[in-house]
Homo-oligomer: A and B are copies of this chain.
């Protein structure tokens, strides 16, 4: 089944101690869409400015993405700049120039309104609600949000949470959303607020999936060559929901696999600047890394239990 993603399309500037990149393709909808494109058809709704290079559009189209909902507006594309230190888990935002994204009011093309899977990337909950008002009742709506909206528009966000099935956020966001420092308790409280499934992304520490009948954890893959973790959370969401949309398997076994595919795409994302690694993957590489996660985490019970 196809998946519709609504969110930011950006031009990023990234600095790390080892190098950097300017005017690089970025944005949550882009990272999500590219990751999901390895599993299913992706429809993208977003806005760019007149400075958005044709090569970026070509690159998205080459991954089979339907750009019928990507509007070009007068002005500049959303631009974000960030700097990582030696600890890639923390970054400083250098600037956030919303530009044409400031007036983003997503219009879902008629051809996308029946799409059964929807991902609302991190944008103003008011806009997320407007998207939901435009689509026919989708089978699965996935959602991302951030501390900014948790603090500034909690009531709007609450209404969004009541209308979605899968929330994918990071651990500090989960704690803040629930007002609860214990992550497990926070997760249970969030499940009471609407979503059937909560996926907590923890960067290099992996991810957790919580549902009424599921508690699943995947560790982060230790990586020697982290180049740029920008977009890894969105790539995770793309791998996760892309796999679900393709398989239609919403069983707990399917959700476990989706969490692994999310981890796989998130890990690839970190291996190069911008979206470089997400545009040239092969099915074989994805399946190989799925198996890497199995080898990373598998263990057998001992034949002699050993305890006394």
Interface residues of A (CB under 8 A from B): 38-40, 86-87, 181-185, 187-188, 202, 204-206, 208, 210, 215-224, 226, 243, 246-247, 249, 253-254, 256-257, 259-261, 283, 286-287, 290-291, 294-302, 304-308
Contact = CB atoms under 8 A, between A and B. Distances in A.
B308 A38 contact: yes
Contacts of A261: 306
8 contacts: A38-B307, A40-B308, A87-B181, A182-B226, A184-B222, A246-B308, A261-B306, A283-B308
10 smallest beta-carbon distances between A and B, as pairs = A217-B219, A86-B181, A205-B205, A256-B299, A184-B222, A283-B307, A219-B219, A184-B224, A246-B306, A247-B306
B208 A205 contact: no
A79 B208 CA distance: 37
Contacts of A218: 219, 297, 299
A202 B68 CA distance: 46
Contacts of A226: 182
A266 to B, nearest CB: 15
A304 B39 CA distance: 12
How many copies of this protein are present in the complex? 2
A259 B219 CA distance: 14
Contacts of A204: 183
A224 B178 CA distance: 14
Nearest to A264: B307
Given A38-B308, A260-B299, 11 more contacts: A182-B224, A182-B226, A187-B222, A205-B205, A216-B296, A217-B220, A219-B219, A247-B304, A257-B301, A257-B302, A291-B301
